Amino acid sequence: MTKKSSGKRISVTFQPDDITATAEYKANLLETAIAAGVPINASCGGAGTCGTCKILIEKGRVDSIRTAKVSEEEYARGTRQACQSRILSNLTVQIPAESRLETAVLEREMASGVEAQAALATGWGFKPSVAKDFIELVPPTLKDNTSDLSRLMRGLKKRHGREKISVDFPVVKKLAQVLRDGRWMVTVTTLRDSETGLRLINIEPGDTRTKLYCLAFDIGTTAVRGQLLDLNRGKILAQSLDYNRQRSYGEDVISRIAYSQKPGGLKRLQQAVVATINKIIGELIEQAGVETKDIAHMVVAGNTTMTQLLLGLDPKYLRLAPYVPTINTAPPLTASPLGIEVAEHVHLYTIPSVASYVGGDIVAGVLGTGVYQRKKLTLYIDIGTNGEIVIGNSDWMVTASCSAGPAFEGGGIKHGMIAASGAIEDFNISRQNLEPEVHTIGNSKASGICGAGLINIVAALFSAGVINQKGKFHSHLPTKRIRRGRDGYEYVIAWATETEMGKDIVLTEVDIDNLIRAKAAMYAGCQTLIRSVGTSCPDVERVIVAGTFGSNIDIDKAVTIGLLPDLPRERFIFIGNGSLLGARLTAFSHDLVSEGQRAAGMMPNLELSESSDFMHNYVAALFLPHTHAEEFPSVRVKLNKAEQEIGI
Amino acid sequence: MTKKSSGKRISVTFQPDDITATAEYKANLLETAIAAGVPINASCGGAGTCGTCKILIEKGRVDSIRTAKVSEEEYARGTRQACQSRILSNLTVQIPAESRLETAVLEREMASGVEAQAALATGWGFKPSVAKDFIELVPPTLKDNTSDLSRLMRGLKKRHGREKISVDFPVVKKLAQVLRDGRWMVTVTTLRDSETGLRLINIEPGDTRTKLYCLAFDIGTTAVRGQLLDLNRGKILAQSLDYNRQRSYGEDVISRIAYSQKPGGLKRLQQAVVATINKIIGELIEQAGVETKDIAHMVVAGNTTMTQLLLGLDPKYLRLAPYVPTINTAPPLTASPLGIEVAEHVHLYTIPSVASYVGGDIVAGVLGTGVYQRKKLTLYIDIGTNGEIVIGNSDWMVTASCSAGPAFEGGGIKHGMIAASGAIEDFNISRQNLEPEVHTIGNSKASGICGAGLINIVAALFSAGVINQKGKFHSHLPTKRIRRGRDGYEYVIAWATETEMGKDIVLTEVDIDNLIRAKAAMYAGCQTLIRSVGTSCPDVERVIVAGTFGSNIDIDKAVTIGLLPDLPRERFIFIGNGSLLGARLTAFSHDLVSEGQRAAGMMPNLELSESSDFMHNYVAALFLPHTHAEEFPSVRVKLNKAEQEIGI
């Protein structure tokens, strides 16, 4: 008699997903749940210390020790920690909402800088589009020598019932060898594709279920941001960002589209963004210690131009009236033919776009923040090189986009940079001696100014009366930091000795002018869109501010320069990079694929470039905070107070 | 007022397909039907001379002249020639069976050497898996600037209703340009794929519906045969054949599989067959004057080894017990990545196989000849390097295969060749002076002996008493044509002066021995399979003989050498290349795709190599006609008579 296993097979049903697994006598309940693909949380990895894997035994018996994580009362009702339970008989187990993986994901979102659960999409189940199944096949004999593929399909049908499963050809190419290398025990990766149904995309020998990763990317005009996700645990394992290498060919989408029309231009742009993505993938797998071959899926969000350039689709017609994109929803395709350095079987899912200037990035944001799910009238603003704006609720949404220019990403700014280590992101100025107080990302020596820093600096300089409403320096002020440079007056933010590259970091009047144009475009866009639906700023019940730098700016400062509307501060929520958030949640849940289609489908687009109201509003916004001071009452009060203090 | 068109749109419904088209007043009814994809026959191309496009007007009015092709009685009942009719009002039109394209195809099959309609599959409708639709789109405006793809899909949905349509990525890549080049009038090509549903595979500017072609191929171990098909008219436009270039790496499948295991071997074999296919495609398009870009689909049948080699799948396990193929049904794939020189959008459909040694070629034959549709007990024999055999009827089928060696394709024979111009295919011998009478393909100077010729020659020599039951020459006979060569005795079939290459063409005892082994394998295979299902040769009600050379051999002669069973001659039907026939009919009708799956699924395979009965039967068959003379009563009678005549 061996101690290890009696060989008795027991059936365990997990609710509410209604997944039934077989297990051996005394098998660990958590391990059984994870192997069966039940979306159960287990933060501590099964050590018994976190209490996140609590389940309710509805029927049957387990052998389980009560730890401090389970109260006596809970224990009496049948609550156990799955990781501490051994299966003794056939079971029916309930996974309560708080132990589910989607709950864990939402909690992690909040912990990692997302300020309110109230701004996250709800109602989705944790079920990634890609999944792994471990299958043990009966080896062939002379009496049963059907093809390898038919045998595999027989095994798969036991898991997926009568559902039709199509097979990608690369699986067929390695099928014979993998089945035999794995001695007829293999792990298959399936992809649920909304167009073509369930697809078999990969096969590996043995049991590789624990290794299932996905990439989520936000392809921005200025910067590209990527994350590596663990699809078994719903976790971000690594993240990284870099400038989009397409910047060498133009700062904004218009100049990129122009460049794409040169001979070989489209190809070079495509290769540039792919090179950026590949560099980030390299960093992500190194950070996380993961192998490229275990990455099974890729979800990407970007504006329409970035998406078309990534896919190698000529963007010419995006900028010619009537501004028609080639696609809003990309057909199923694999990533490696584009040059992306992932395994051959990795499919690329692109978040759908709405129009030429309302891309997958904003759909991803709307999706991730659930704007389309709530009754509250919400203004969603994604601040970036292309500003995107949505106003609406669960009944209707309208969207618009405006070309803000690259200032918010540090572009077109003399010492601008993306929000990487060394970027100045916080700034205050002493009203006494006009000396600055500077804070950099990572507390490194200053290397430049990121978008958030730029807003904070300009707001502080304006509030302190160092610059006027037109963004020009009061050059007579008693500080050597204000001086005449090559581009007119400038303010020295950091002296050469304090900086990484040993040169002064300055803010010029040209820089300020660029920021004013950018904020004017964003504000005028919001104003035009809000008025187009017959409402006005004060009616907006919630403002969701997306954009990576959004989390680092101060609402007051953004309102001070006239970037955000002057509303009660509690209505604002910052969610960081909304595009990446939506891509990530879509990677975690196939539900969001169809939701994405639905959200994209319900958003008509207002073409601001065709709107005379927009031009009017834009010109009026080319002031700090605005030509019509009455739109910014709180700023007026503050400025009046400041003026009195420093006596300008 | 213009004469051309009043602009009035009229609706025409074609039955029994229930296809409704719109047409202008006085439009030609045949042209309207063809444009709408109605499978209507029109042999003379609309000249009014053939009478094959007769239709019945059930409702509405046409302006039509009665020609001699329509009797007064028919005319009174409402019968008209579609090509002679102009539409005057909304119509309902019935296409009778005899005017349908599938009827035309079946008639053409009979005309082109197929001996009896009774041996062709029935009940399918003429509807190729690929189809073209001409679509006129509303150009985009600022109020309606949805993506190009959504616009196209809107247009397509009018044709295909709510059916889900997926899009191949290459279509997306050229979509924007094609829509604009065609001024929003385009022709789309769709493929109905049994796994992934309806796919949009190509788009072209303007109306290209008249150009829709398909390739059908039989990939044989020795020879590859291809046809170019017109999918609008159900016609063979060109055909060609060539040796399979894989022959450089081995004569039969076993030696090819062995070669595939050498470094780079699999790749070289794959490239060799692709090179053969490409050469044939080149010949086909030249013969037919068709452009490669207008070929929209490709249907291929081959034995399992040939299919796996074409797809680049390692055939190793095909020849190792328990003889497992990687696939029976290939997943959807395009042809050009394999190296086949067709447009990027051409999908390759491979007729499914049953087992390692029962391939898509035999499934194609069973499919094309409808063995699985009829009550009659049918023996289907495909004679080739790999002999394939099916016995059964509409209730059940069993299949087997035997390695006959390349003799039937002229391989392993000193002066053997494929059935091309110059091949000796018919042969008689004078019993007086033992001089031959020789007939070559194309009446050219003799170049060699094809498979049919070989059988005819050996049968004639045997009947005339020139060779004995063991296939050895009676060397004492008074003729200088029998002489001693390097390989023992030989018979000179053509003297050097009569041949293409200026050398004697001979038949050696080694050649005869090779043929005897080949015919013994075929016959023993049939015998073993027939007996395995508890029946015997005389119970077989119909024998369908497939194999290109089959049409050229004489049943008597094939029975004389013991290749075919000695049954009443009226039970035999020769259908030529069954594999190519099945591929061609599958190209004409998507019905045969699912039928092919069904037919393949109902054929269990008997492994002859594992059968001791087969070995026993094989050894007994190594005689002319057979060790057991009683199995060939008619041959015995004939030989006795001959012996008396010439007094051996």
| Residue B496 in tokens | 């050097």
Residue A605: per-residue pLDDT: 86
When pLDDT is cut at 50, 70 and 90, the band that residue B3 belongs to is very low
| Residue B70 in tokens | 């329509």
Residue B37: per-residue pLDDT: 81
Residue A587: per-residue pLDDT: 96
Contact list, B177 vs chain A (CB under 8 Å): 314
Q: Are B519 and B550 in contact (CB under 8 A)?
A: no
Q: What is the mean pLDDT of residues A305-333?
A: 93
Residue A245: per-residue pLDDT: 96
d(CA A359, CA A318): 11
| Residue A11 in tokens | 């059936």
Percentage, residues of chain B above pLDDT 90: 66
Residue A196: closest CA among chain B residues belongs to which residue? B196
Residue A5: per-residue pLDDT: 45
Which helix (H) or strand (E) segment holds residue A583: the answer is: helix A578-588
Contact list, B141 vs chain A (CB under 8 Å): 322
Q: B635 vs A400, B457, B563, CA distance in Å?
A: 90, 16, 12
Which helix (H) or strand (E) segment holds residue A382: the answer is: strand A378-382
When pLDDT is cut at 50, 70 and 90, the band that residue B604 belongs to is confident
d(CA A25, CA A484): 81
- Return mean pLDDT, chain B: 90
Residue B238: per-residue pLDDT: 96
When pLDDT is cut at 50, 70 and 90, the band that residue B215 belongs to is very high
For A321-349, the pLDDT digits (tens) are 898 999 998 988 999 999 999 999 999 99
Q: Are B283 and B237 in contact (CB under 8 A)?
A: no
For chain A, give every domain's residue range: 9-99, 130-205, 361-404+521-636, 407-515
d(CA A393, CA A398): 9
CATH architecture of the domain with residue range B361-404+521-636: 2-Layer Sandwich (3.30)
For B508-552, the pLDDT digits (tens) are 999 999 999 999 999 999 999 999 999 998 999 999 998 876 666
> For A66, phi and psi rounded to 5 degrees?
-85, 120
A66: helix, strand or coil = coil
Residue B608: closest CA among chain A residues belongs to which residue? A142
Residue A1: per-residue pLDDT: 38
Helix/strand number for chain B, H first, E second: 16, 29
For B263-276, the pLDDT digits (tens) are 999 999 999 999 99
Percentage, residues of chain A above pLDDT 70: 96
Residue A359: closest CA among chain B residues belongs to which residue? B147
Residue A547: per-residue pLDDT: 81
Q: Are A367 and A355 in contact (CB under 8 A)?
A: no
Residue A112: per-residue pLDDT: 52
d(CA B508, CA B487): 7
Residue A3: per-residue pLDDT: 42
ipTM of the complex: 0.85
Q: CB-based contacts of A249: which residues, under 8 Å, 6+ apart?
A: A255, A256, A259, A265, A268, A269, A272
- Shortest distance, CA A52 to any CA of chain B (angstroms): 41
**Would you say residue B115 has pLDDT above 60?**
no
Residue B431: per-residue pLDDT: 87
**Would you say residue A299 has pLDDT above 60?**
yes
| Residue B109 in tokens | 């099959």
Least CB–CB distance from A172: residue in B149, B150, B327: B327
d(CA B170, CA A311): 11
Q: Which of A145, A201, A320, A363 to mutate to test the interface with B (most CBs of B within 10 A)?
A: A145
Amino acid at A564: L
Higher pLDDT, A552 or B520: B520
Q: Using CB atoms within 10 A of its CB, is residue B161 exposed (0-12), middle (13-18) or buried (19+)?
A: exposed
**Would you say residue B504 has pLDDT above 90?**
yes
Percentage, residues of chain A above pLDDT 90: 66
Q: Fold match between A9-99 and A361-404+521-636? A: no
- Return mean pLDDT, chain A: 90
CA B480 to chain centre: 43
d(CA A328, CA B182): 21
Residue A432: per-residue pLDDT: 87
Least CB–CB distance from A150: residue in B147, B168, B328: B328
Q: Give the number of A-B residue pairs with CB atoms closer than 8 Å.
A: 127
Beta strands in B513-571 (DSSP E): 542-546
Q: Which of B142, B150, B169 to mutate to test the interface with A (most CBs of A within 10 A)?
A: B169
Contact list, B322 vs chain A (CB under 8 Å): 140-142, 144-145
By C-alpha distance, which of A243, A264, A573 is closest to A385?
Answer: A243
**Would you say residue B46 has pLDDT above 80?**
no
For B11-35, the pLDDT digits (tens) are 999 998 888 888 999 999 998 888 8
When pLDDT is cut at 50, 70 and 90, the band that residue A551 belongs to is low
Check CB contact under 8 Å for B149 and A316: no
Least CB–CB distance from B326: residue in A172, A326, A332: A172
pTM of the model: 0.85
Check CB contact under 8 Å for B327 and A147: yes
Residue A628: per-residue pLDDT: 92
Place of tokens 């099916």: B390
When pLDDT is cut at 50, 70 and 90, the band that residue A103 belongs to is confident
B136: helix, strand or coil = strand
CATH of the domain spanning B130-205, picked from 3.30.499.10, 3.30.70.1070, 3.10.20.880, 3.40.50.300: 3.10.20.880
Residue B592: per-residue pLDDT: 93
**Would you say residue B496 has pLDDT above 80?**
yes
Residue A116: per-residue pLDDT: 57
Place of tokens 């996700």: A229
CATH of the domain spanning B9-99, picked from 3.50.50.60, 1.20.1250.40, 3.30.70.1350, 3.10.20.30: 3.10.20.30
Residue A270: per-residue pLDDT: 97
Check CB contact under 8 Å for A172 and B145: no
d(CA A295, CA A279): 15
d(CA B25, CA B12): 11
Q: What is the mean pLDDT of residues A255-284?
A: 97
For B392-419, the pLDDT digits (tens) are 999 999 999 888 888 888 888 999 998 8
Check CB contact under 8 Å for B321 and A148: no
Residue A318: closest CA among chain B residues belongs to which residue? B147
Place of tokens 């990527």: A226
Check CB contact under 8 Å for B176 and A321: no
Q: Which of A164, A324, A597, A606 to mutate to test the interface with B (most CBs of B within 10 A)?
A: A324
Q: Are B303 and B246 in contact (CB under 8 A)?
A: no
Percentage, residues of chain B above pLDDT 70: 96
Residue B171: per-residue pLDDT: 96
Q: Using CB atoms within 10 A of its CB, is residue B433 exposed (0-12), middle (13-18) or buried (19+)?
A: exposed
Higher pLDDT, B409 or B581: B581
Least CB–CB distance from A145: residue in B151, B175, B322: B322
